[in-house]
Amino acid sequence: MNVRTFLSEISGIGYSSAKKLERINLFTVMDLINHYPFRYDDFSNTVSTMDAKVGEKVTLQGEIWSISNIFTRSRKIITKAIFNDGTSPIELTWFNSSWLTKQIAVGDRLQISGKITKYGRKFSILMPQWEKLDSHQPSVVSHQTLHTGRLVPVYPETYGINSKWLRTRIAKLMPNILSEIKDPLPDEIRENMITLQAALSQIHFPKDYQEIEQARQRLGFDELFFIQLATLKVRADWSKKMSVKKLKVKSEKLKVFVKTLPFKLTKAQLRVTDEILDDLQKGIPMNRLVQGEVGSGKTVVAAIAMYIAYLNGFRSLYMAPTEILAFQHFDTVKKFLEPYGTSVGIYTGSRKKVADKSDIVIGTHALLSNKLSTENVGLIIVDEQQRFGVEQRTLLRSKAKIPHFLTMTATPIPRTVALTIYGDLDLSIIDELPKGRPKISTHIVPENKRKDSYNFINTHVLNGEQVYVITPLIEESETLISAKAAKVEFEKLMKVFPDLKLGLLHGRLRSKEKENVINAFRKGSIDIMVSTSVVEVGMDIPNATIMVIEGAERFGLAQLHQLRGRIGRGIKESFCLLYTSDIKSKNRLKHLETTYDGLKLAELDLKIRGSGEIFGIRQSGRFELKIASFSDLTLIEKTRSATQKLLSKNPSLDKYPPLQAQLRNLAPNVMPD
């Protein structure tokens, strides 16, 4: 057995459990060792029942007096036991655990841990953790304490796999596997941190809170360090490549193009355009990220860059994350550039229109296909950059010889986060919306005002306007009972608005079905579009003036800001109505009523909900934060400084084989064999 051994091959796990573990992306022994607890139950307080207090988490040692299964009227099974530690009896209760009567018998001595509750005069513990005591030594647990009498780790679980199961297997694997794990960090970087082996041992089975913090610091450092090492190494390698030739900015033709646009470019668009044009004229390929609000005009900036590439005899690839957005860009770019002799093709899973012959090819992930000719490609543009990880960016860049590379995102990303995840890119920000864009009035709608809001919607639709209704789910969920589903909401609203035309849009529709629904909405044949967040990118309907967001508490502030950016794209006043039944979320959602700066909202999300809630932060491939946080600015700076020093001394990392091996494992396209 080694760290790469598949879990299905491990004794005590087997095929069936391994398939369940795959649902939470655990495939190998190392995956399981790197499956960290998200909290700990403190059961280190060992007391007597007489001294235990209601609401307190305690550990008790005593004897089982009785245990039996009770069948309720609803056919549910409750397991009840009477437990006595010699000072006072206490009732233990488990739900759906009938098998316990085969594992625990009257007279067994147990160590149990849980929270003390009281029903009437009876003390009780619901769903206690338990371990058997050695009958010969009544105060000694018969095997290593895992589930009681200590800081007990609680893990992300999946159906059929609970934390007790995970603790038992991890504890069994750790002694055999720790000696095989090599610490990839050089001594000069590790400094005062504990070893990787110690960190893994402490994160799973800590003696105290200090050990947890030491482990978090070390494992968090590693996560952020390797993300930054990958991005900065790409940047260093990229800067060494010389462009085939410097692109010439043909000023007169560019002036004509800009002058004939149906709108005037903002100062921010002009500034970012200048930064891009400056890059194109340098001796090294451009590698830039453009961040701008929904509706700030990133597409026209991209069109200018593609026009310059065309004038210099180069083709361009333009990749979007969804077909909706790809078709949107296809229509827009055709309108901008075809009058100047530029041919524009589309290349998606469902449509491949003369793409190999086109000067500009717009598409989805299909652009990564080997079937698409990339001959003479000089510029690659990736829209909604946050949907693609460093590996995909590297793979796409490798398709052309030495292309200029421009990436764009409408997702507001706090600067510290952008520098961490997108450290391989120069950063430009379009921080200005075109003039004449109406401010979107945003309101939290209480449930008792829902009927009034429906009347408000009906009035505006009868006035010729259109509406989005956004839900978190496609269909109802057994686990997310309170979450609204698009299909259910569609049926309900059909009854609320019997005289209006409704459409349904979600990610499971076929491409042609999506296209038909969107075109119908664009032409005004649909009054109310019920959809999931699939409309977050790629929808530009000036006549849509109202957006209703059901279950608003289930979205981050930055994502809600992006969603409402789908309205207010014409000249009419627009309204975003947030529906929520979660009282606790209302204070967070109120920020949307007064704040219209996406970057500020993203920073608020970072403070309030943590980095895991920032839309698009999770990288594709293996770059996924399990224990670090993008809100830990001190650790981010520490890892960035360490990475920069290391790469300045040894850009190829050939003096650090363990680092090369780890980076190759995490990002094979960044550090190939």
Are residues 395 and 263 located together in one domain of the fold?
yes
Could you give the CA distance from residue 544 to residue 364 in angstroms, rounded to a whole number? 26
> pTM (2 decimals)?
0.65
Are residues 397 and 540 located together in one domain of the fold?
no
Question: Is 235 a member of any domain?
Answer: no
Could you give the CA distance from residue 321 to residue 533 in angstroms, rounded to a whole number? 13
Are residues 162 and 308 located together in one domain of the fold?
no
- Give the CB-side neighbour count of residue 297, counting CA atoms within 13 A: 24
Question: Is 119 a member of any domain?
Answer: yes
Are residues 358 and 456 located together in one domain of the fold?
no
Could you give the CA distance from residue 569 to residue 438 in angstroms, rounded to a whole number? 8
Would you call 434 helix, strand, or coil by DSSP? coil
Cα dihedral sign for 455, 460, 465, 469?
Answer: negative
Can you name the residues that pair with 379 across neighbouring β-strands? 316, 404
Q: What are the CA-CA distances from residue 486 to residues 447, 507, 657 (Å)? A: 18, 11, 51
Could you give the CA distance from residue 206 to residue 213 in angstroms, rounded to a whole number? 10
Cα dihedral sign for 54, 55, 56, 58?
Answer: positive
Q: How confident is the model at residue 66 (pLDDT cuts 50, 70, 90)?
A: very high
Q: Categorise residue 550: left if φ over 0, alpha if ψ from -120 to 50, beta otherwise.
A: beta
117 CB neighbour count, 10 Å cutoff: 14
Specify the pLDDT at position 673.
61
Contact at 8 Å (CB) between 570 and 437?
no
If residue 647 lies in a helix (H) or strand (E), which one and from where to where? helix 633-649
Are residues 304 and 400 located together in one domain of the fold?
yes
Q: What is the pLDDT of residues 488-517, one digit of tens each?
A: 899 999 999 999 999 999 878 887 888 889
Q: How confident is the model at residue 623 (pLDDT cuts 50, 70, 90)?
A: very low
Domain-terminating residue out of 430, 460, 490: 430
- pLDDT for 22 beyond 70: yes
Are residues 452 and 560 located together in one domain of the fold?
yes
Contact at 8 Å (CB) between 244 and 256?
no
Are residues 282 and 333 located together in one domain of the fold?
yes
If residue 44 lies in a helix (H) or strand (E), which one and from where to where? none
Residue 368 or residue 123, greater confidence: 123
Question: Is 358 a member of any domain?
Answer: yes
- pLDDT for 102 beyond 90: yes
Which residues lie below 8 Å from residue 449, measured CB to CB, with a gap of 6+? none
> Which of the given ranges, 31-45, 124-138, 143-157, 421-435, has the highest pLDDT on average?
31-45
Percentage of residues of the chain with pLDDT beyond 70: 88
- pLDDT for 605 beyond 80: no
Report DSSP state, residue 267.
Answer: H
Are residues 275 and 289 located together in one domain of the fold?
yes
Domain-terminating residue out of 410, 430, 450: 430
Specify the pLDDT at position 72.
84
Contact at 8 Å (CB) between 80 and 72?
no
Are residues 269 and 331 located together in one domain of the fold?
yes
Could you give the CA distance from residue 500 to residue 527 in angstroms, rounded to a whole number? 6
Compute φ and ψ for 161, nearest 5 degrees: -130, 115
| Distance, first Cα to last Cα, the chain | 25
Could you give the CA distance from residue 520 to residue 517 in angstroms, rounded to a whole number? 5
CATH of the domain at 521: 3.40.50.300
Specify the pLDDT at position 482.
45
- Least confident span in 199-213, 305-319, 392-406, 656-670: 392-406
Specify the pLDDT at position 483.
53
CATH of the domain at 2: 1.10.150
Q: What are the CA-CA distances from residue 673 to residues 583, 652, 653, 657, 669 (Å)? A: 53, 13, 13, 12, 9
Question: Is 255 a member of any domain?
Answer: yes
Could you give the CA distance from residue 130 to residue 629 in angstroms, rounded to a whole number? 33
Question: Is 277 a member of any domain?
Answer: yes
Contact at 8 Å (CB) between 413 and 603?
no
Are residues 403 and 471 located together in one domain of the fold?
no
Q: What is the pLDDT of residues 183-223, one digit of tens each?
A: 999 988 988 899 999 999 999 999 999 999 999 999 999 99
Token couple for 19: 């398939």
Question: Is 216 a member of any domain?
Answer: no
For the chain, how many residues are written? 673
Can you name the residues that pair with 61 across neighbouring β-strands? 111
Q: How confident is the model at residue 294 (pLDDT cuts 50, 70, 90)?
A: confident
Question: Is 71 a member of any domain?
Answer: yes
Percentage of residues of the chain with pLDDT beyond 90: 47
Q: How confident is the model at residue 616 (pLDDT cuts 50, 70, 90)?
A: very low
CATH of the domain at 51: 2.40.50.140
Specify the pLDDT at position 667.
72
Cα 58 to its chain centre, rounded Å, is 36
- Least confident span in 221-230, 305-314, 370-379, 541-550: 370-379
Token couple for 652: 């190829």
Q: How confident is the model at residue 151 (pLDDT cuts 50, 70, 90)?
A: very high
Are residues 175 and 142 located together in one domain of the fold?
no
Token couple for 330: 């296809």
- Least confident span in 376-380, 428-432, 436-440: 436-440
Can you name the residues that pair with 467 across neighbouring β-strands? 528, 546
- Least confident span in 145-159, 187-201, 363-377, 488-502: 363-377
Are residues 406 and 344 located together in one domain of the fold?
yes
Specify the pLDDT at position 538.
58
Question: Is 50 a member of any domain?
Answer: yes
Mean pLDDT, rounded, of the chain: 85
Specify the pLDDT at position 477.
46
Domain-terminating residue out of 564, 595, 626: 595
> Which of the given ranges, 34-38, 324-328, 347-351, has the highest pLDDT on average?
34-38
Q: What are the CA-CA distances from residue 223 to residues 177, 602, 605, 673 (Å)? A: 20, 22, 21, 22
| Domain span holding position 9 | 1-38+155-181
Which residues lie below 8 Å from residue 491, measured CB to CB, with a gap of 6+? none
Number of domains in the chain: 4
- pLDDT for 621 beyond 50: no
Contact at 8 Å (CB) between 628 and 634?
no
